[in-house]
Structure 1
């Protein structure tokens, strides 16, 4: 294997960009790029610096043998950790909010693959978990269920299920755009739909959009 291709292989195994390698080796992006593509030669000093930046021996750059490239602490995949908050949203008439700051009481940890499957590419810090009380969303979300909220969506972002406060009452409902305003809907049809209009929208504060729920079975 050509040394340029070998350097590129080891760089990618270490999850380094060309810029990161160039910076660590005291070179520049252009030189590293040309070296990797075989358009530029190399000196003994350059090779020593590149090997050191990659955490390998110089001889490792001239062999095709598989080696383990050490990763830095930052490069090791961190678990996807979501905060569970000491807060509730009412799927009913609304739970009075006494504070806008909720304490983290525990956390839920996912491996990277599972987190990607459930949450896509959303950052962990934008997702919070709270519990639901009430039955207005029954059939979709039951009382006691955990709901996962994307708190970066603290505004109406299209029809969907949201956690929001209205006149200081925190609730979880569907919000649907209409010509007359935002229609607040419950999946339990015993609850009446109502409108948020320009006349009362000052009382609305969107906390986040519900992206996932997890049911809890209770037997006592």
Structure 2
């Protein structure tokens, strides 16, 4: 099944090789079957390969990855603006009872245009990371399997929002709300009770960052 990414990738193939996937594969050092899988939505290219497309053909990675065209640029062409590359960690952030962190290996990178981050998400930090949501306690805001983008520089709760929290049992995603000398930890799913981080238990928790964006399958 095709995906928005695979359809944009096909546009790149059309622009560079007039849609000839075999020729595109030879030109970019990949097997034809791999290019066909990407165009069908059955596979995703590595960040290394995407970086090669940028270096060799000036493909706009921001547009390719997010669908957002850089200002003044034609879709698929390079942007002169810098990209921020956010690593995707091999961990799950529980939106349930708690998920143990088994690994923190980087499995992929995703590129975002700095101007897009600033104008759409009001973010200027380049300390960003992706993790995957596990569980249903944040439904309907976050669903099981969602990819969430976390600004790891926002570790102080100045206003209500959804944050990534390190606990003794692993990572959790919860809504945090400041309440005097404590933090209310809220699940958007009413089936899950709220709890509190206060001076008595604060050493058991750490705010790892603020969730600023999420992506899911349509």
TM-score interval, normalised by the smaller of the two chains = 0.5 to 0.7
Question: Contact (CA 8 Å) 1:132, 1:147: kept in 2 or not?
Answer: yes
For residues 29-44 of structure 1, what are the structure 2 equivalents within 5 Å?
Answer: none
For residues 29-178 of structure 1, what are the structure 2 equivalents within 5 Å?
Answer: 77-98=81-102, 102-124=104-126, 126-178=127-179
Residue 112 (structure 1) shift = 4.6
Question: Contact (CA 8 Å) 1:137, 1:187: kept in 2 or not?
Answer: yes
Aligned counterparts of 1:121 and 1:208: Cα–Cα separation in 2: 13
Secondary structure of the structure 1 residue equivalent to 2:149: strand
Aligned counterparts of 1:200 and 1:112: Cα–Cα separation in 2: 37
Indicate the residue corresponding to 2:6 in structure 1: none
| Higher alpha-carbon Rg | 1
For residues 177-192 of structure 1, what are the structure 2 equivalents within 5 Å?
Answer: 177-179=178-180, 181-192=182-193
Aligned counterparts of 1:154 and 1:179: Cα–Cα separation in 2: 17
Aligned counterparts of 2:132 and 2:185: Cα–Cα separation in 1: 20
Aligned counterparts of 2:168 and 2:214: Cα–Cα separation in 1: 25
Deviations 1:15-48 (A, max 9, x none): xxxxxxxxxxxxxxxxxxxxxxxxxxxxxxxxxx
> What 5-or-longer segments of structure 2 have no aligned partner?
1-79
User: Cα 1:180–1:156, aligned 2, differ >3 Å: closer, same or farther?
Assistant: closer
Deviations 1:45-80 (A, max 9, x none): xxxxxxxxxxxxxxxxxxxxxxxxxxxxxxx53333
Aligned counterparts of 1:107 and 1:192: Cα–Cα separation in 2: 35
Residue 180 (structure 1) shift = 6.1
> What 5-or-longer segments of structure 1 have no aligned partner?
1-75
Q: TM-score, normalised by structure 2?
A: 0.58
Q: TM-score, normalised by structure 1?
A: 0.57
Q: How many residues align?
A: 139
Secondary structure of the structure 1 residue equivalent to 2:129: strand
Deviations 1:115-161 (A, max 9, x none): 3333435233x111111010000110111111110101123333211
